[in-house]
Amino acid sequence: MNKRHYIAILLTLAVCFAALLLFYRIEKSSINNKEQEPPLYRIQVILKAKANPPDFWRIVEQGVMVAAQEYGAVCEVTGPTSEDDIDRQIEQMKEAIAKQPDAIVLAATDYERLVPICERAVKEGILLVTVDSDVNYTGRKCFVGTDNYQLGKSLAEQVDLLTEKKGKVGVVGHVATVTTAIDRERGLTENLTDADSRITDVVYCNGLVETARKQAISMLQNNPYIVCMVGLNETSAMGIAYALEQLKLEKDVKLVACDCSEKQIQMMERGTIQAFVIQNPFNMGYVSIKSTIELLQGKNVPANYNTQSVVVTKDTLYKNENQKLLFPFVDDQ
């Protein structure tokens, strides 16, 4: 190879290297620009609780974050410590409004008391969507959640099945002012055979397992003829289950529960709980964000999106179709 050919080869390699370097810089700049692009939408999500019950709301939040990532939104998720802290949720609504997001997704702790602050949000041009628990306000554009009257009806059917439509029934709910509790109780009492004579009492634990346990113990001790207990959500059902095991009545008194957690599944396996009526919290979170974004894009969405509920017993606990509902991925954080 002569000197001229050698120089030509070096020049060619230098040009190729320069081209590759230029391409790399352009591509890197393009990626950086994409990373710096602002999100399409900013959404404030205010749940009924962030830590109580632990599994349900954490799974709702997971659905929210998956949808946010898929649709290019930034979602900030907040919520009071417990489901009965209505005042704190109202304050969180005020804080959310001050941030002027594109939308607020709300799981209301009270059907009536959240109405004024919801009206204020809409008047300030913020889109409002409700999830799990609705508000008494027509200004919200969409509700995503379970048909809770139908869920209550399913509870009644399971009680009748387990008790052969005979015997006294005790009920523990979560928070009396939320639509989930109102509609489930109505679905139960309007569909249970001879409900007026069979239901001994309906009490509310304000979303606290320990309160539910104490209430269930008192109810069972004062009404020894109770043959079945009903928990209207995860915390109330867990409290009843602990009470039954503490009083050693788990073999004598049936328990029909709403929702399920890992501990509840264990209690079904050992015979303390006979039936769950379970919801789909991941789908609630996901669809609430998807519907919110579609509304912001000017698309039509159903005013009410039913995420369905399913009855699970020990016989159907490990059926394939129930696996995703019963064992959703929950972070340890």
Domain C-terminal end among 236, 263, 278: 278
pLDDT of residue 332: 41
Task: Quick: pLDDT tens for 313-331.
Answer: 999 888 777 666 665 554 4
Provide the domain limits for residue 192.
148-278
pLDDT of residue 333: 40
The token pair that represents 167 in the structure block: 């015997």
pLDDT at 70 over 50: yes
Least confident of 136-140, 218-222, 321-325: 321-325
Return the closest-CA partner of residue 284 out of 45, 42, 85, 52.
45
- Separation between Cα atoms, residue 72 and residue 261, nearest integer Å: 31
Q: What is the CATH classification number for the domain harbouring 100?
A: 3.40.50.2300
Assess whether 262 and 154 both reside in one domain: yes
Where does the pLDDT of residue 22 fall: very low under 50, low under 70, confident under 90, or very high at 90 and above?
very low
Q: What is the average pLDDT value for the chain, to the nearest integer?
A: 88
- Separation between Cα atoms, residue 259 and residue 298, nearest integer Å: 34
pLDDT at 161 over 80: yes
pLDDT of residue 55: 79
Least confident of 14-18, 104-108, 161-165, 231-235: 14-18
Assess whether 180 and 266 both reside in one domain: yes
Assess whether 259 and 288 both reside in one domain: no
Assess whether 84 and 157 both reside in one domain: no
pLDDT of residue 320: 73
For Cα atoms 183, 188, 190, give the angle at the middle one, nearest 5 degrees. 90
Assess whether 160 and 253 both reside in one domain: yes
Cβ 90 vs Cβ 106: under 8 Å: no
Q: In this structure, is residue 21 part of a structural domain? A: no
Q: In this structure, is residue 243 part of a structural domain? A: yes
Find all residues with CB under 8 Å of 62, minimum gap 6, and list them. Answer: 282, 285, 328, 329, 330, 331
pLDDT at 281 over 80: yes
- Separation between Cα atoms, residue 27 and residue 32, nearest integer Å: 9
Selected residue with higher pLDDT from 61 and 40: 61
Q: What total number of domains does the chain contain?
A: 2
Pure H helices in 256-299 = 262-269, 281-296
Assess whether 255 and 157 both reside in one domain: yes
pLDDT of residue 2: 53
